[in-house]
Structures are given as C-alpha cells and as structure tokens.
Amino acid sequence: MSLLVRKSSSLVVRPSPEPATTTTRATIKLSSFDMGLYNMPTTSLLVFERPLHNAAETIQAALSRALSHYYPIAGRIVAREGGCDGDGGDEDDDEVYIDCNGEGVAFVAASASQALKEVVCFDDLAVYYPDMACGPGDPLLLMQVTEFSCGGFVLGVTWNHGVADGAGMAQFLNAVGELAAGLPSPSVPPVRWDGSLPSLPPSVLEAQQHMLSLEPLSDLVSMHVTISMESIHSIRADFSSSFHGQPCTTFEVALAVLWQCRTRAIGLDPETPILLMFVADVRRHVGAKEGYYGNCIVEQFAMATSGEVADGDVKDVVMAIKRAKDRVPGLLKEDEGQGMVSQQELRNVDTYGMLLVTSWRNLGFDLVDFGSGRPARVTSSGKDMPPSPAVLGFLSNGRDGVSVLSTLVREEHAGAFLAELAKFTVRSS
C-alpha cells in the first residue's frame, strides 16, 4: 500500500516576541567547521508512536518560542565582502555569515490515513530543498509534522548543515520539546558563536574539499538493514578477550561489520586501496562552550587494502577503526592535521572503494519529547541520500540493534552483501 500524505501549505514560523530580553546580533560569521557545509541539507525523522493532542499545533507554537532563543536558525546564510558587524571575529574579505534577520523557518502540517506500522517508506514525511541543495535566501530549517490514523506522528526536520551539526540540531529539538512541556526557557542555554574554536588545519580542509569534488555515484541500491545487538555484544566480548580487556564501542563494531561485509561483497583485488570515512564530534577536544550548536565535527579516514579488510578477522577491523578514532585529536593540531590521510592517498582510492558513515546514535535525537514520550525510532530519509561521491550509511538506534539506512552497493553486489551480513546474524529487509 502506497502512503498517501496530505500536506497543508507551507507556513513561515518566526521567533516569538517572548522573551522580550532576547538579544540578537546582526550577523554571525561561519567558522571553518561550518564553511564546507553551508549549502548541504540533511534530514532527520523522529517517529513517535504515542499520540500527542494537536501535535502539529503544539510543535509549531513551541518552535516559535524556541526560535527566540535560537534566533540564528530563523535567519539566512549570505556571502558578503568585508567584515562582520556582530561579534563574529576579525574583518575578512569574502566571508559567509548567518544574517540574523528573523525571516523564519518553513513549517508544514500533514496527515496520513494509514497507521504508522503500515509505513515502509518515509520519504514523504519531510520537506526538502529544491535539487537537494540549500540556495541563497532559503530558510535554514524545514519542518513537517505528519499525524497518522493510529495517533502516532513523525517529525521530519531538514536543515542547512551550515547552521548546526547533528548534535546541535538534536539540542534545538530538545529545547522545542521542553518549551512544549511548559518550561519558560531551554534547560541548556544555546551558544552559536564560540570565538575560542580553533581553525581547522589546511590538510583537513583539503581532504574535505577533495571528497566534495568527486563525481557522484548514481547506480547504488538503497537498503535498510539491522545489525543485531546479539552480534554486536558477541564481537565486543571477543574483542575484549583478544586485546587484554580493552573495550570497544557499539559504533566501532557496527562500522567494522559494514566495512568488512561490503568489502567482501564487491570483490576488489586484495591489493586495491579502500577507505572508510566517519564523522567525529570534537566538542570535547576543542573545549567548545556548553550549549554550542554550530558545527563541531571532522571527517576521519581509515585506509586499508581490500584484502586486509575482507580476509582479516572482524575484531582486527574494529581495532583499525579504533586507531583511526584515536587519531582524531591530532587532526586539530594547528598547521599539521596529524593523522589525516594524504591527498595522494585519497586520489588513489576509486569512489566505489569509499564507504562514508555517519551516526544519529547518541546525539540526543532519541531524547526529544514533546509531551507524549520519546521517539520509538530515529532515522533518515531515502531522499536525503542523493547521488553521492561514495557509498553511504546512516546509523541509528533500532529496537533490535543498530539500524542502517544505506546506499552501500550496486545492484550486482546486493545479494552478496546481504549474504555476508547474514553470517553476522543480521536481520535485513
């Protein structure tokens, strides 16, 4: 059964005039963490199974109040020549800013005649930017609330990545939930400008630009798989036993399973270089202020040959990922970017040999509560995975394990990939 979603006309939600003490700045300069992301959208879908009376109206009202605290989200991103007339830093030429003009965000109320349990595809449960790119003058946030016949609802949030990373957007949505519950202000005071943040080293920025410049792959098949917690616990126990009690995380195991299964499935020559890229939150490494919701993430790479990943034990793949994570603080060292993969190494990897993974786990999306309880599921949308310069995987918490929405392989490799996953007792659909 196809999902029929009835959408209202898009409304503009502006910051509430309360509290009257809210102070705004004219502009906020984007940091080096933001600069490569300000025309990129991303989407998060929060699935709530318990009914919330007048869900759309409740969330819309709380959204307006939250924007009075998170006023940059109601602004627009613009490029300017010259300096900044807020307190965003020194005067530089050709900088990109958030213009805190209060123009507001887009909000759509929607309904569906089906029950949530009948929904297979979530693509129509969010609003998207035209051509999947954020253009000049576009709102920085697009929100849709879809109410279902069973009483459950889905919150779809699409935002300009330049204004917030995943942890920052989760912080904002938690603030919306707190205001919907009647709190006078968010429990975590928001911070959008933090002048103490370091600039990213040139090597890190160059690697980011290289990845963004690659030609997209358009022939990948979309799949939704779940890596069972039973398998994850088993691998974690085996890893700890093999490495003198050293622990590993669910994230590291999930990445290792995906990387190994995919590498085996696509069958590259054993000496072919391959790459895993994952996103790391570095707030604690750079001393970001509490409540900072701008971008504070870096991309880290793990390099290997196809044979090392495909033919090795999965716990050794976990260790390779752990070592890459341990190198993250070195990426931030001024003018060095220690631990960053070189440009030459990146150029040696074919795009189909690259696996890009980001995780919604532990960012705070699963804590959002508008009055009827936390979401049963947090995921992304298939439309949020357009043709990419590499294969993609979005990790989120599932009832039975780690849920992965992915475009990981071409059609001819899909069967082999699922067969490899089955060896780890992974349930797929």
Question: Of 63-77, 372-386, 387-401, 404-418, which range is least confident?
Answer: 387-401
Half-sphere exposure of 417 (CA within 13 A, CB side): 23
Residue 244 designated active-site = no
Residue 54 banded pLDDT, cuts 50, 70, 90: very high
User: Can you list the positions of beta strands (E) in 306-371?
Assistant: 354-359
Q: Is the pLDDT of residue 92 over 60?
A: no
Element (H, E) at 206: helix 202-213
Question: Of 28-42, 168-182, 370-384, which range is least confident?
Answer: 370-384
Q: Is the pLDDT of residue 385 over 90?
A: no
Residue 334 pLDDT: 59
User: What does 252-303 look like in DSSP terms, one character per residue?
Assistant: HHHHHHHHHHHHHHHT--TT-EEEEEEEEE-HHHHTPPTTB-S--EEEEEEE
DSSP-based three-state secondary structure for 14:
coil
Fold agreement (5-180, 202-428): yes
| Strand pairing class (41-48; 153-160) | antiparallel
**In angstroms, what CA-CA distances link 394 with 45, 178, 362, 423?**
12, 27, 13, 21
Residue 391 banded pLDDT, cuts 50, 70, 90: low
Catalytic residue, chosen from 281, 369, 384, 413, is 369
Residue 401 Cα to chain centre, angstroms? 19
Q: Is the pLDDT of residue 400 over 70?
A: yes
Residue 238 banded pLDDT, cuts 50, 70, 90: very high
Domain ranges of the chain: 5-180, 202-428
Catalytic residue, chosen from 161, 366, 384, 413, is 161
CATH of 5-180, one of 1.10.3720.10, 3.30.950.10, 3.30.559.10, 3.40.50.720: 3.30.559.10
**pLDDT digits over 220-234, tens only?**
888 888 899 999 999
Question: Of 135-149, 278-292, 326-340, 402-416, which range is least confident?
Answer: 326-340
Mean local confidence (pLDDT), 289-299: 94
> Domain 202-428: which CATH class?
alpha beta
Residue 185 banded pLDDT, cuts 50, 70, 90: very high
Residue 231 pLDDT: 92
Handedness of CA 316, 319, 324, 325 (dihedral sign): positive
Inter-residue contact 359 to 396 (CB < 8 Å): yes
120 vs 367: CA distance, rounded Å: 23
Mean local confidence (pLDDT), 132-158: 94
- Which amino acid is located at 266 in the chain? I
Mean local confidence (pLDDT), 312-323: 95
Residue 427 pLDDT: 41
Residue 285 designated active-site = no
